[in-house]
Amino acid sequence: MAKKQTNGYPWQYCSLGGVVRVNITSGEDIAHLGELDQKLWTVLSCPTKDLAIDERTLQLIDADGDGRVRVAEIVAAAQWLTSVIKDKDAILKGEGTLKLDGINAEGEAGQKLLKSAKQILANLGLDKDEITVDEASDSVAIFAKTQFNGDGVITQASADDEALKALIATVAEKAGSTTDRSGEPGVTAEQVEAFYTALADYAAWQAAAEADKANVFPYGDNTAAALAACEAVKDKVADYFMRCKLIRFDDAVAAAVDVSADKLGAISEKNLATQSEEIATYPLARPTKDAVLPFDAINPAWQPAFATLKGLVLDVDFPKAEGITEEQWAGVLAKFGPYCAWLGDKKGEAVEALGLDEVKALLKADRKADLLALVDADKALEAEAASIDDVKKLMLYYRDFAKLLRNYVIFTDFYGRADGTRGIFEVGKLYIDERCCDLCIKVSDMGAHGDMPKLSGMFLLYCKCTSKTKAATMDVVAVMTDGRTSDLRPGKNGIFYDLDGGDWDAVITKVVENPLSVKEAFWAPYRKVARFISDKIDKSAADKDAAAMAKLQTSADAGPAAAKQPFDVGKFAGIAAAIGLALAGIGGALALIGTAIKGMTWWQWILVIAAVLLIISGPSCFIAWRKLRKRNLGPVLNANGWAINSRVLVNILFGKMLTSVAKYPKLKLDDPYAKRTPWWRKCLYWLIGLLVVAFGVCYFTDNLKWMGIERKPKTEPVEQVEEAPSAEAVPEAEVAE
């Protein structure tokens, strides 16, 4: 660990995850966070939701309430926290209990906090010298027995007068309620004002009707019922008069606008008492040229509604009439004009259920000022109550701030997995395909996880998780760093366990493929070739099967007329020629291989095999090795709303800690259902093995002539060149000859 002077403060540095980071090791480091260059922070901002840390803490730090915790807000929280705590180093412990004498009472803020902490304990009936997060956060228990608590909300407990208590309940019922800090429903000054405004408006509205009662209520107390009766038949009456007008216009349409015999005939065989809906579609009465609606000839389906109208309206306006004209009906409707206008101006509906007499009584009593006085008395304790809330803030910071810094400045919780810690962005574990992915992150917006996660260089599994017990769903992304990838595909199921141990059904929805290991990369080219060949074989088999089926169907359709094709000598010769060429090619290849291996020793064989493997798998392994060294969690967190300011590398060594693979003991077990190897295949394996051994023996004993291969000796003998004899040395006899 190294120290360096930055802006006057000696910061300590460490290497974590392959990156140099600022290390927070003391309370003084926290107090001087404002002096740390922002370029040296690992994180510049993070969301306040879906993290493994108390959301209340993050919301308190988020001063502007934008749902993001930024560097400036972290610094402000650090400066406030270190100013009210005596032992700054204690902040790093992250404890949920604070001794009262640990509060720095030398400043005004500390004095208020100490006083409020003692008040909380007194309100809770506790006699001790320390306070916990739960005690400071239980506002319901803290303010349960208090008359006023500074939130500007008064409850029935705020009043000593029984009449005022009843009035507070009435205001809460009619004008709405607000939950008090004590947990009880209460009212605010705004709600009191709204209640009395509604009382005044309703009384004024009723007074306006009393002033012009004759016009507003043309039928007295029955005006509302009379209007409802008119509305019930208004459309049907209008339809009747229009039919009469059409008959007056042309007598020829009389039959068309009246009830047709065919319609009646269609239902005449049924129980007409059950056909009221059908009969109700017929005219209100039989239309005539004189356009008078008769009272005694109304459509049976409409007689009950019309009888109500007649009793409330027509008998009042036309007591001896046997019918009415359209003009008379229009006059009836016009009488409701002032009443409808008065209804349209209605105000104070919130208190209408009280009744006019009760409204007038409440206005006459006029206890509005008394209620507002109680609200003012409650607000007078606002500063004290705010200080009590600050104790809650203090305890949340005291417990959670160090954890936030470990995940914001340095990321030790993420890299310190050996101690059982986790990053606050982690949500649980995914078990799938004989593996456990220990690094899982909740995805708040799948749209943001488009192309960015591909830049991480990591193998990612996106899963939709469903919990039936919690009736909830969520998306997670799991980082996989070990094992095989052949069986991982969208639609595969697994089990996800959250941090509380709850189990969720998980199904893969998306896979971002990247190398898992150098070992996997080594075999990847061969698997690709095998997959390619397998696909080709499957496709060829499918094509041949389709062709055979098509040929069979064609033959079946042709029937006996389709004669068997004669033997084609030319076609057979072509096939034989093709087979010969193939065998010749194979022979040439074997000859080429035989020529190449002449004179090779065993170690040369090993070098050749190694070179071939290197040529095939080398590029894949090299690319995988480079990617594995550069795996970066930053793009995944960035897609999840984090502003990552530094690399969050997941190298090969650390990556092994993030995924565990099932390991079985080496046992020799008999499986009665295991597939048995047939005897002929065993014989074939032995034969191939013997041939390989024979080839090796012959190769190393120079006995390859049976294969048509001649090995050159390792050292060729030097040819002896005989010198020609000189002329003097030739005998005379030979010369003569």
- Mean per-residue pLDDT, 662-676: 75
- Confidence category of residue 680, pLDDT binned at 50, 70, 90: confident
| 544 compared with 210, residue with greater pLDDT | 210
Residue of 518, 524, 514 lying closest to 460 (CA atoms): 514
| 518 compared with 131, residue with greater pLDDT | 131
Two tokens, residue 163: 């009449």
First to last CA, the chain: 105
Q: How many CB atoms lie within 10 A of CB 625?
A: 15
Residue of 275, 282, 279, 278 lying closest to 240 (CA atoms): 282
* pLDDT at residue number 696: 64
For residue 636, pLDDT over 50 is answered with yes
- Mean per-residue pLDDT, 355-368: 93
For residue 722, pLDDT over 70 is answered with no
- Mean per-residue pLDDT, 496-511: 94
Q: Rounded to two decimals, what is the model's pTM?
A: 0.65
* pLDDT at residue number 402: 95
* pLDDT at residue number 303: 93
φ/ψ of 669, rounded to 5, equals: -115, 145
| 283 compared with 420, residue with greater pLDDT | 283
* pLDDT at residue number 499: 92
Q: Are 425 and 643 contacting, i.e. CB atoms less than 8 angstroms apart?
A: no
For residue 729, pLDDT over 70 is answered with no
* pLDDT at residue number 611: 73
The per-residue b/e assignment along 80-107, b for 16 or more CB within 10 angstroms, e otherwise, is ebbebbeebebbbeeebebeeebbbbee
* pLDDT at residue number 679: 76
DSSP string, 394-413: HHHHHHHHHHHHIIIII-HH
For residue 200, pLDDT over 50 is answered with yes
* pLDDT at residue number 266: 80
CA gyration radius, the chain? 48
φ/ψ of 597, rounded to 5, equals: -90, 0
Two tokens, residue 422: 């986790």
* pLDDT at residue number 603: 66
- Mean per-residue pLDDT, 25-49: 94
- Confidence category of residue 517, pLDDT binned at 50, 70, 90: low
- Mean per-residue pLDDT, 396-420: 90
* pLDDT at residue number 681: 76
- Mean per-residue pLDDT, 188-217: 93
* CA pseudo-torsion sign 98, 102, 105, 106: negative
* pLDDT at residue number 580: 59
- Confidence category of residue 590, pLDDT binned at 50, 70, 90: very low
- Mean per-residue pLDDT, 16-28: 90
* pLDDT at residue number 730: 46
250: left (phi over 0), alpha (psi -120 to 50) or beta: beta
- Which residue in this structure is represented by tokens 């291969």? 709
- Mean per-residue pLDDT, 686-693: 79
Q: pLDDT tens digits for 85-136?
A: 999 999 999 999 999 999 999 999 999 999 999 989 988 999 999 999 999 9
Return d(Cα 690, Cα 590) in angstroms, integer: 19
- Mean per-residue pLDDT, 229-247: 93
How large a percentage of the chain has pLDDT more than 70?
Answer: 82
* pLDDT at residue number 548: 79
φ/ψ of 57, rounded to 5, equals: -65, -45
- Mean per-residue pLDDT, 468-473: 92
For residue 735, pLDDT over 50 is answered with no
Return d(Cα 139, Cα 145) in angstroms, integer: 11
Q: Are 401 and 78 contacting, i.e. CB atoms less than 8 angstroms apart?
A: yes
For residue 624, pLDDT over 70 is answered with no
Residue of 533, 435, 542, 531 lying closest to 483 (CA atoms): 435
- Mean per-residue pLDDT, 391-411: 94
| 521 compared with 45, residue with greater pLDDT | 45
* pLDDT at residue number 732: 47
- Mean per-residue pLDDT, 241-245: 93
* pLDDT at residue number 575: 55
